[in-house]
Amino acid sequence: MVYSRLPFPMMRGDQMTVAHLLSFLAARGHSVDLYTLAVDGDLTGEQSSWLQRNCRTVRIYEQSWAAKLLGLVLGILSLLPLQVSIFRNTKLRRELAASVAAGEYDVVYCYYPRTAPAVPRSIRSTPSTVSFLALQLSQTLNTKRMARNERSGLKRMVYRLETVLMSRYESRVWKDFDKTVLIGPADVEAVREQCRVHGQPEIDNWIYGAHGTDTDKFVQAEQKDVVPGRVIFSGSMLYPPNVQAVLWFVENVWPAVRAAHPDAAFVIQGRDPAASILELDGRDGIWVTGTVPDVGVLIRSAQVCVNPMLAAGGMQNKLIEYMASGKAVVASSIANEGIRAPREALIVEDEPEAFATAVIRLLEEPATATDLGTSARDYVLANWTWEKHFLDLEDEFHGALSAKKRPLGVSNHAD
């Protein structure tokens, strides 16, 4: 497992996915070596012990600001995306290559494109090892949307530059791996488009590989838990797409909801709120919580949950957490892109007036909200548990190995 940041604290969707995948693989009897950078957090003693229990070895590489700056300079010269450049780590790359050359691994699994350059391309011609790139979402699509909705001129320029660099990178990087993992059709099509734009063959080694949610932690709320008139958005409030989504909702939807329900409250739950989010606290029935011990508690207290994403791709953890909690949800089509929930389980609206109307209706019709929430949880239990997706991924590991070891000329398809 090759990763670009520490799996703890599990505050981001990718951290939760990597930690749960490590736990799953260990429980299934696989031996896992984790190669990761000392970025975005410090491990507690308990977290270090957890990693040691679930991994054969844990290799953590320092990534200083000087190293990030050097990587950025070298990356710009080679036209690499900024988010790939700053995670360049020569020691990780060298030690991983040595272990691969020694035949230590059946599978090399790289999570996110940031550390893709660390994985030896030679694996493609190695019959005993397969390489997987968990691209997950199209970063080109993601940064393009972020640029479109960014208010800061400087940040918008950076996102546009990153979109150009990532477009070029995504059109090629998949060719260095045996399999590329993407969450849904929108991401597959976005990468295909980049291939066409840059004159590359269209990606043909993709598999679907999403992630799930903890249905024991996110449980259906009891009626006594619900606070009438409470609307909630939950997510990291330092993450630009979440900030954009909340500001859009507050400016374009919330005034209509408050006009219809003056006592309604909008709770913005999530760690490290940006300054623009903190400014909303206490205004027009808005409560900005900051970091909370258990996000599930406040989610269960909501009468309605919202996810009005304007940017970001792949899948939305917050959305399946809402749904696993049996909540009535109003979301944008972008938010539902990766999860593809049916209309029986989720209301999808993109225009401000329609979004507001849906929220107001759910506040006024508790029975409708309850039915929607029940269907939402049923959908998550059937489609979005961790185990389901990881068992599918494990099958892909075995299938890729079997196909690669098959003698040349033998069909990959059953007769």
Per-residue 3-state assignment (H helix, E strand, C coil) for 220-261: CCCHHHCCCCEEEEECCCCCHHHHHHHHHHHHHCHHHHHHHC
- Distance CA(319)–CA(233), nearest Å, equals 10
- Binning pLDDT at 50, 70 and 90, where does residue 175 land? very high
Same domain for 271 and 179:
no
Same domain for 295 and 335:
yes
How many degrees, rounded to 5, is the angle at CA 85 between CA 50 and CA 121?
75
List phi, psi (to 5°) of 31: -95, 125
Residue 26: Cβ-neighbour burial (10 angstroms; 0-12, 13-18, 19+) = middle
Same domain for 272 and 311:
yes
pLDDT 10s digits, 255-295: 999 999 999 999 999 988 999 999 999 999 999 999 898 89
In this prediction, residue 415 carries a pLDDT of 31
Same domain for 379 and 289:
yes
Same domain for 134 and 81:
yes
> Residue 255 is part of a domain; what is its CATH number?
3.40.50.2000
- Binning pLDDT at 50, 70 and 90, where does residue 372 land? very high
Overall average pLDDT of the 150-174 stretch: 91
Judged against a pLDDT cut of 90, whether residue 141 lies above it is answered with: no
Same domain for 293 and 305:
yes
In this prediction, residue 414 carries a pLDDT of 36
- Binning pLDDT at 50, 70 and 90, where does residue 313 land? low
Same domain for 155 and 6:
yes
- Binning pLDDT at 50, 70 and 90, where does residue 364 land? very high
> Could you give the C-alpha distances from 167 to 111, 121, 310, in angstroms and in order?
18, 20, 20
Does a structural domain hold residue 260? yes
In this prediction, residue 411 carries a pLDDT of 38
Same domain for 355 and 268:
yes
Angle between helices 13-27 and 45-54 (to 10 degrees): 50
- Distance CA(218)–CA(228), nearest Å, equals 20
- Distance CA(3)–CA(35), nearest Å, equals 6
- What is the enclosing helix (H) or strand (E) of 185? helix 185-197
DSSP character at residue 106: S
Does a structural domain hold residue 415? no
Same domain for 305 and 169:
no
Does a structural domain hold residue 410? no
In this prediction, residue 406 carries a pLDDT of 57
Higher model confidence: residue 150 or residue 235? 235
In this prediction, residue 412 carries a pLDDT of 41
For residue 44, give the nearest of 4, 10, 14 by alpha carbon.
10
- Binning pLDDT at 50, 70 and 90, where does residue 371 land? very high
- Distance CA(20)–CA(142), nearest Å, equals 24
DSSP character at residue 122: G
DSSP character at residue 334: T
In this prediction, residue 150 carries a pLDDT of 81
Q: Are 206 and 178 in contact (CB under 8 A)?
A: no
Provide the domain limits for residue 254: 223-383
Same domain for 167 and 300:
no
State both tokens at 263: 């006592």
On average, the pLDDT of the chain sits at 91
Domain count, the chain: 2
Does a structural domain hold residue 217? no
Strands 107-111 and 130-136, sheet pairing: parallel
Same domain for 180 and 42:
yes
Q: Are 312 and 235 in contact (CB under 8 A)?
A: no
